[in-house]
Chains A and B, each alone.
Chain A
């Protein structure tokens, strides 16, 4: 993540020296450092993905009751065909060349992955895993993304007064809330939302909100579909907001507390700037800066944190696909989903590393050149 800041320090030197010297320095050393940093970060990401891919490969094959055998067994008993036929069918769905050694299989599988070929689903033959993912993923991205963004904005808004009025009643109340928000698991929040306002108070009909949109609507840019999609996403989104909000509040509070101690805030006030200007451009902007990096990083993690929530609300996102693949033992889909969720984390980390400089002018110099 950000532990390696050498590239920042080395490039944010003052430009006291002559312009020529500066240009000289920038053109020679900067790109080198920057490029090597990028390369390093990329390399790390790729290695991680590769490690996870291999782990998945091994995991699926080392599991007690090897899924390949289990599946062959299943097909044999269900359809009464010959072992060879069953094996062929399974091999096809797993992308396995039956004559190949395990090592060959491994390389074969890796090669397919590089072409984004995740194989075909075992339980619904003919369906490509990649298509399955494409069907379920957007809903998760939509719900989780919305929840993450709303909670981020609210957290920034709520975290600042906590720092401004540290020790006040407001701070205590908001801190207390944040303990609830961070401590209570997101799916427990979901259950509470279902039970209390949903079932006990009948504010909404939880049964009608299953799925991602009302049955019978055609997905597309029509008002009925969009409204329905929003309606169905509302509860999961609300759950994510409540469950993530506390973390943002605390982050923003500690970040703001740090910024409030900075000289430039003091000077800004001494300059007679309007309070709003100080809060917005001086305190808020600087305090929120590190949070953007956190936001980028958390995108990857939150994608996979919604599995239970999606199951509770019967929201058909990637978590639902994962759960389905597990319950019906669709190992190819499972492999695909795990790989995807890991890749999300790795790439959001990578993205955070690479975009960090775009937000903070202190690092931006190195990003541009």
Chain B
């Protein structure tokens, strides 16, 4: 295993995933690479279907059955040992999941088994990872439930249907960090929640991260959430990371027309889907993607070069990379506009 810098928890190299379907192979992600540092919060932004969720599912090897990883590795470091997540045995994988990397799924409404009490589901999880002391589990769970601002005793003894959507989401967060994972993946942690609950969840997340020191990867349409929570932001388009950088770089100095398009479209408060109004066209067909830069059919700066050649991620500064042939023109037009 290659050595990783001690600060790195997770490094993804050239990850390419294909979905085999009746109509052909869907290239869901293409040569995705990024690094996640200890305590870092990274946001993956992009339209739905861009491959954000595929990336996150690959991290815990929870891809659908028809998905095939064609290339790449996912390196995970804990206490100076590095392992490739894609190479874990079944048993190792079971141990890895949740204990090292937990995923808080989109739509927590159905994340809990309706016929088991919350207590049982916490116990199941802890016991699967070697905890045996029910009292210790209970103590840990109650403190976490308190951390997510719930009435711990009551929620712990409830059935899932007795909790509201926001309560379930927070309970799932608590369950997510039960085993002190190093990485927590949050898939759209705030969609389908009302504004107040969203706010509460963000606060809880910030609190928790401060106290429990885990790294976060979160997936969102909601750029304001990204701006507020993330240290690093990666823009995903058609299965590729087209721009990645520190949160300020992305929000104030974006170098990719797609990122810029996402940012300039004004999000309505509730309907995150509307944010793409200012980008014409629709996401590309990933069975037969466009040639060259995959964004070119929708890009106002597109040139012949964009049609012919695919741009690579290039460093603009140490932490800011973008894949575009016409960064200069984007910058120029922005200065004009400003």
Contact = CB atoms under 8 A, between A and B. Distances in A.
Q: Do the two chains touch directly in the complex (Cβ atoms below 8 Å apart)? A: yes
Contacts of B165: 14
Contacts of A272: 93-99, 125, 128-129
Interface string A342-368: 000000000000000000111001000
Sort A-B residue pairs by CB-CB distance and give the 7 closest, nearest first: A272-B97, A263-B110, A16-B164, A14-B164, A272-B98, A361-B159, A271-B98
A273, A281, A289, A362 pick with most chain B CB within 10 angstroms: A273
Given A16-B167, A264-B113, A286-B113, A270 B103 contact: yes
Given A270-B97, A272-B97, A272-B99, A14 B113 contact: no
B161 A12 contact: yes
A33 to B, nearest CB: 17
B112 interface: yes
A14 B159 CA distance: 10
Contacts of A277: 124, 128
B162 interface: yes
Contacts of B113: 264, 268, 281-282, 285-286
Chain A interface mostly helix, strand, loop or mixed? helix
B164 A269 contact: no
Contacts of A267: 105, 111-112, 172
Contact of B60 (A12, A16, A270, A365): A270
A362 B112 CA distance: 12
Contacts, number: 93
Interface in B116-155: 116-117, 120, 124-125, 128-129
A360 B160 CA distance: 12
B115 A361 contact: yes
B78 interface: no
Given A281-B113, A281-B124, A270 B105 contact: yes
A342 B45 CA distance: 63
Contacts of A266: 62, 105
B125 A271 contact: yes
A262 interface: yes
B163 interface: yes
A368 to B, nearest CB: 12
A15 interface: yes
A274 interface: yes
B125 A273 contact: yes
A274 B161 contact: no
Contacts of A271: 97-98, 102, 124-125, 128, 175
Interface of A: 12, 14-16, 262-264, 266-274, 277, 281-282, 285-286, 289, 360-362, 365
B114 interface: yes
A187 to B, nearest CB: 38
B115 A286 contact: yes
B107 interface: yes
Nearest to A265: B113
Contact of A269 (B62, B96, B114, B117): B62
Interface residues of B, number: 38
A215 B158 CA distance: 58
A269 B62 CA distance: 8
A264 B159 contact: no
A15 B168 CA distance: 12
A277 B95 CA distance: 14
Contacts of A289: 115
B93, B125, B129 pick with most chain A CB within 10 angstroms: B125
Nearest to B175: A271
Contacts of A15: 158, 162-164
B122 to A, nearest CB: 10
Given A272-B125, A362-B161, A286 B114 contact: yes
B200 to A, nearest CB: 13
A361 B119 CA distance: 14
A271 B116 CA distance: 15
B188 to A, nearest CB: 13
A323 B113 CA distance: 49
B116 A281 contact: yes
A266 B107 CA distance: 12
Given A264-B112, A271-B98, 17 more contacts: A14-B161, A15-B163, A16-B164, A16-B167, A263-B105, A263-B107, A264-B110, A264-B113, A266-B62, A267-B111, A269-B62, A269-B97, A272-B94, A272-B95, A273-B128, A282-B116, A361-B159
A285 to B, nearest CB: 5
A239 B268 CA distance: 64
Contacts of B107: 263
B161 A270 contact: no
Contact of A270 (B98, B110, B120, B129): B98
Contacts of B162: 14-15, 365
B110 to A, nearest CB: 4
A118 B155 CA distance: 55
A267 B173 CA distance: 12
Contacts of B99: 272
A12 B164 CA distance: 11
A264 B97 contact: no
27 contacts: A14-B161, A14-B162, A14-B164, A14-B167, A16-B163, A16-B166, A16-B167, A262-B110, A264-B110, A266-B62, A266-B105, A267-B111, A267-B112, A267-B172, A268-B124, A269-B62, A270-B103, A271-B124, A271-B125, A272-B128, A273-B124, A285-B113, A285-B115, A361-B115, A361-B117, A362-B115, A362-B159
